[in-house]
């Protein structure tokens, strides 16, 4: 246990190695992590609970941390040695609670850098429990921490509740000395990145670099690893199954899909074993992996909390707080992890607003690339019309959803840690856990979505809906009737749907309308499947209705204006 951003997860990583499991606490979307460690002849379970400032919770995450603390046998209280006064508030409460405690005085290396001196022996004597200086990133003190766990003991630390902070102050006065020193480069960067005048330009530059890194890694993984695996190894097996099934028929269309010029096209075949596996694994997973790699780096370095605070005022206009910027950022890489990351928001109302805004107005990286290819020849005029329209929709939609959704907009309570170089071991473990979670949780829903679409195709329902909506497509949106096919395919793959507009010979205004409507009207099947899991059927249906309505209104207005 410990305050947020004190290095709990890094110490947990040091103690447990690689075999860890991330789970949600029953009845909540609050995540905790558990793993195992050898202690003498025993194998013990270690649990990394959410950060909390005290035992009087003010958020769902803190409630879970307090509940789980009562279930544990021994508490490793991770304390930020550079901010002793604030951290000891929780320590005293844990001691008074009567649980066996070992204190890990973490970030010990940073105390030397910033002129703080702590008398560890004196602090240990006052608290009456083991106190071990640690530096989780380098591993300093971890061996001593493990050796002290069997000696953990309860020490009912007595104090008057209303005088707890006074007691904390006296302890700090007895054990800590601070000497003068000059600001470091990272501290100056911290100041620059939190002030709007300098922080916003820095955020723009950071996001630009981030998206280029993500695109480079994602496209590299697709082109070098995943596409060759599917084309060279998986396709021959699928052709054998296709031959066994007679290359056509209802069962063939469900599992293999339609052959394109006698071959399997993993994008257009639409089979459960072809497109159904290719979309989440070869097209979505590389972007999920690359985005989570960069996101983990930004989290562990201390930048994300600063970005959240920087945009908090803007996000409150939409009924959200600053951390809602995370789903929006992730959505620009791939809407699937964007949908999954709405879990960082506390209330059902926030998750609904954030997921709906992201699904409607935030195109994924693959779709952005296709729009650039489609309209790039028209320069800033064409690109500005598409992305300017989406940005306006994002703002207006957020304001409207805030007005019509019942509930309050919560305040942001987020710890802003100093900038630190992330510990690669913990970062890699977090990346693997998130990737495994995507494969375990999201892929089955994607397969279910593709299976459903295949059934609808085979029964002719999709084609019927295409003919039924043709008057809307031509009348309201001003697009040719054969653009219906692109909108239907857009439910499976947005970037492919944008590419299907190329041979239709559309003029600039039609291209702008089609690109905006394709982005807004519905998420791809992978995102749709994940949103059902995250929001539930009822909220997803409400969100889908908002998507279709807003897409028709905006598309119709753009058609009239252009």
CA distance 493 to 513: 18
Beta bridge partners of 133: 105
Is the model more confident about 384 or about 23?
A: 384
Across 53-67, 118-132, 347-361, 447-461, least confident range: 447-461
CB contact at 8 A, 89 and 41: no
Give the SS3 label for residue 266: coil
Tell me how far apart the alpha carbons of residues 434 and 540 are, in angstroms, rounded to a whole number.
23
User: pLDDT tens for residues 510-540?
Assistant: 889 988 988 888 777 778 877 888 888 889 8
Secondary-structure class of domain 8-181 per CATH: alpha beta
* pLDDT at residue 56 greater than cutoff 90: no
Alpha carbons within 13 A on the beta-carbon side of 96: 14
The predicted pLDDT at position 418 comes to 75
Residue 413 has what pLDDT? 61
What residue spans define the domains of the chain? Answer: 8-181, 196-561
pLDDT in tens, 199-258: 888 888 888 888 788 778 888 898 899 989 998 999 899 888 888 888 888 888 888 877
The reported pTM is 0.64
CA end-to-end distance (rounded Å), the chain: 58
Distance CA 112, CA 320 (A): 39
Q: Please, what sign has the CA dihedral across residues 456, 459, 460, 465? A: negative
Whether the CB-CB separation of 306 and 193 falls below 8 Å is answered with: yes
Which pLDDT value is given to residue 503? 63
Residue that is written with structure tokens 């930004």 in the block:
298
- Average model confidence (pLDDT) across the chain: 82
| 480, 506 contact by CB (below 8 A) | yes
Q: In the prediction, which pLDDT does 76 show?
A: 95
CA 503 vs. chain centroid, Å, equals 36
pLDDT digits 0-9 by tens, 430-461: 788 777 777 776 677 667 766 776 677 677 77
Q: What is the pLDDT of residues 475-491, one digit of tens each?
A: 888 887 767 767 776 76
- Residue 317: both structure tokens together: 């206009």
User: Residue 80 — pLDDT band, cuts 50, 70, 90?
Assistant: very high
Distances (CA, A) of 2 to 101, 387, 509: 12, 43, 56
- For the chain, helix, strand, coil in percent to 5 are 65, 10, 25
- For residue 261, what pLDDT is reported? 79
Provide the β-strand partners of residue 554.
none
Q: pLDDT-derived band of residue 274, with 50, 70 and 90 as boundaries?
A: confident
Mean pLDDT for 294-318 is 83
| pLDDT (mean) for 546-555 | 92
Half-sphere exposure of 440 (CA within 13 A, CB side): 9
Task: List helix spans (H) across 302-364.
Answer: 303-310, 312-316, 325-333, 335-340, 348-361
What's the confidence (pLDDT) of residue 20?
Answer: 65
Provide mean pLDDT across the span 9-29. Answer: 70
Fill in the DSSP letter of residue 230.
I
């Amino acid at each position: 246990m410990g305050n947020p951003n004190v290095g709990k997860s890094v110490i947990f990583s040091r103690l447990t190695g690689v075999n860890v499991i991330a789970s949600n606490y029953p009845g909540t979307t609050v995540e905790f992590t558990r793993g195992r460690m050898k202690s003498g002849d025993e194998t013990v379970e270690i649990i990394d609970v959410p950060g909390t400032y005290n035992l009087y919770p003010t958020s769902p995450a803190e409630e879970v941390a307090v509940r789980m603390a009562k279930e544990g046998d021994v508490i490793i209280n991770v304390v930020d040695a550079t901010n002793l006064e604030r951290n000891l508030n929780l320590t005293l409460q844990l001691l008074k609670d009567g649980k066996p405690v070992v204190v890990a005085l973490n970030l010990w290396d940073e105390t030397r850098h910033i002129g703080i001196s702590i008398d560890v022996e004196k602090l240990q004597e006052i608290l009456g429990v083991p106190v071990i200086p640690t530096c989780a990133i380098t591993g300093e003190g971890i061996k001593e921490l493990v050796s002290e766990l069997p000696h953990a003991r309860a020490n009912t630390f007595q104090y008057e509740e209303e005088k707890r902070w006074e007691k904390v102050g006296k302890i700090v006065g007895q054990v800590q000395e601070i000497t003068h020193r000059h600001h470091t480069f990272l501290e100056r960067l911290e100041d620059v990145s939190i002030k709007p005048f300098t922080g916003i330009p820095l955020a723009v530059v950071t996001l630009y670099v981030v998206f280029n890194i993500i695109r480079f890694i994602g496209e590299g993984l697709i082109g070098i690893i995943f596409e060759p695996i599917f084309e060279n190894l998986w396709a021959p097996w699928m052709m054998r199954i296709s031959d066994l099934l007679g290359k056509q028929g209802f069962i063939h269309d469900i599992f293999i899909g339609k052959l394109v010029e006698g071959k399997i096209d993993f994008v257009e075949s639409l089979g459960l074993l072809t497109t159904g596996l290719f979309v989440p694994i070869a097209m979505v997973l590389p972007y999920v992996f690359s985005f989570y790699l960069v996101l983990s780096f930004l989290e562990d370095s201390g930048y994300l909390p600063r970005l959240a605070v920087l945009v908090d005022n803007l996000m409150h206009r939409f009924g959200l707080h600053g951390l809602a910027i995370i789903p929006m950022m992730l959505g620009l890489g791939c809407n699937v992890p964007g949908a999954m990351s709405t879990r960082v928001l506390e209330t059902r109302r926030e998750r609904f607003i954030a997921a709906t805004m992201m699904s409607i107005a935030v195109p994924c990286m693959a779709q952005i690339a296709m729009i650039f290819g489609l309209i790039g020849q028209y320069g800033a005029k064409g690109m500005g019309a598409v992305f300017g329209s989406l940005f306006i929709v994002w703002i207006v939609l957020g304001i409207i959803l805030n007005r019509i959704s019942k509930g309050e907009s919560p305040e942001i309570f987020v710890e802003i840690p100093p900038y630190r170089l992330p510990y690669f071991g913990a970062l890699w473990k977090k990346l693997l856990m998130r990737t495994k979670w995507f494969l375990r949780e999201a892929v089955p829903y994607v397969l279910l979505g593709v299976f459903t679409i295949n059934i609808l195709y085979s029964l002719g329902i999709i084609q019927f809906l295409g003919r039924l909506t043709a008057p809307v497509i031509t009348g309201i949106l001003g697009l040719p009737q054969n653009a219906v096919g692109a909108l239907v395919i857009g439910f499976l793959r947005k970037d492919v749907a944008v590419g299907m507009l190329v041979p239709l010979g559309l003029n600039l205004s039609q291209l702008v309308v089609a690109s905006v409507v394709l982005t807004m009207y519905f998420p791809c099947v992978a995102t749709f499947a994940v949103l059902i899991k995250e929001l539930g059927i009822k909220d997803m249906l409400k969100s889908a209705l908002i998507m279709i309505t807003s897409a028709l209104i905006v598309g119709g207005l753009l058609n009239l204006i252009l």
